[in-house]
Each structure stands twice: as structure tokens, then as C-alpha cells.
Amino acid sequence: MRFEIPGQDPLELEHLVCDYNGTIAEDGRLIPGVADALNRLANSLTVHVVTADTHGSARRELEGVRCQLTIIGHEDQNHDKRDFVRRLGSSSVIALGNGRNDEDMLREAALGIVLVLAEGAFTRALMASDLVCTSALDALALFEKPGRLISGLRNR
């Protein structure tokens, strides 16, 4: 996906990296409509879900979703997620997250979007992001309706 943003270099995006709980899921359950939105985006981006899977439900909830699930350890999640984005090539990554363990991933990605849902959002994750959304579906729709993304990022 390529986005021309007035006042900055174009975004050439290949990967969508999502945190699970608090971002595309609440209390271990995928938010209704997210599976369909991710499957549509999988036509244009490689979709990754990176999670410590606190509730142990990510694999089951993501059945039928065209994504690559990576379950990380509980030790150094912030750095593990950042390193995951780096391995993909930071300049080609959109990252979605909300927590303390998402801060570095959001900062590292070409485009970091913090979600403020039922769990809230870690303040430093908010500051590390480029955009803030209050709905997972709204965040994912930014890539299906790029005028919204451009409006939020334009510099002129």
C-alpha cells in the first residue's frame, strides 16, 4: 500500500502488526467485525498479530483470519515487539497497540496507531504513536478509506 501524505515522504506499507488484547480484542475475545476487516486488509498487507496471549484465546479467536500469529514470552514484550517490527523492516510497517508493551513497537513502525478502548492506553504508548483511534474498526478502516488517514497525518 502506498499513501501520499502532503508535507511528508510517501508511506510504502507492506505489513500490519497488531497487538491482540486491548487493541483488536477485549478480554481475550476478538472485537466483532475485526476478523472481516483484517481479512480484507490481507489482500494488500501481510497481517501479523503479536501477543503474549494473556487469556490463552488468540489462536482460537483468530481461526479463519488471514494473519500470522506470533505468541511472545512474558519477559521483555516491549523489546520483543519492537524487534519483530525491525525484522520486518520498520519503514514498511503499520503497528497497532495500546499498552506499555507496545510503546517501542509504535515508535519503531513507519506508522504507529494507538487504540484507546476498554483497557485504556499507556500514556507513553500514546506519545510514541502517530495517530490515536478509539475503535479497532476505525483504525483498520483508515487503510480502506485513505482520505481519513491523510487527513490525520497531513502537514499542509
Residue 115 lies in a domain: yes
pLDDT computed for residue 30 by the predictor: 97
Reduced to 3 states, what is the DSSP secondary structure of residue 17?
strand
- How many structural domains are present in the chain? 1
Instruction: Specify the pairing of strand 25-26 against strand 29-30.
Output: antiparallel
Which three cell numbers mark 15? Answer: 505489513
Distance CA 17, CA 45 (A): 10
Residue 112's nearest CA partner among 4, 40, 13, 1 is 13
- Residue-wise pLDDT for 13-43, tens only, equals 999 999 999 999 999 999 999 999 999 999 9
Residue 45 lies in a domain: yes
- Under-70 pLDDT residues of the chain: 156
Q: How many residues does the chain have?
A: 156
Residue 156 lies in a domain: no
Q: Which residue range(s) make up the domain with 95?
A: 2-151
Q: What does pTM read for this prediction?
A: 0.95
Residue 9 lies in a domain: yes
Reduced to 3 states, what is the DSSP secondary structure of residue 56?
coil
CB of 11 within 8 A of CB of 3?
yes
Distance CA 71, CA 49 (A): 8
Residue 33 lies in a domain: yes
Burial of 24 (0-12, 13-18, 19+ CB in 10 A): buried
pLDDT computed for residue 98 by the predictor: 96
Looking up residue 79, the CATH number of its domain turns out to be 3.40.50.1000
Residue 25 lies in a domain: yes
Which three cell numbers mark 139? Answer: 483504525
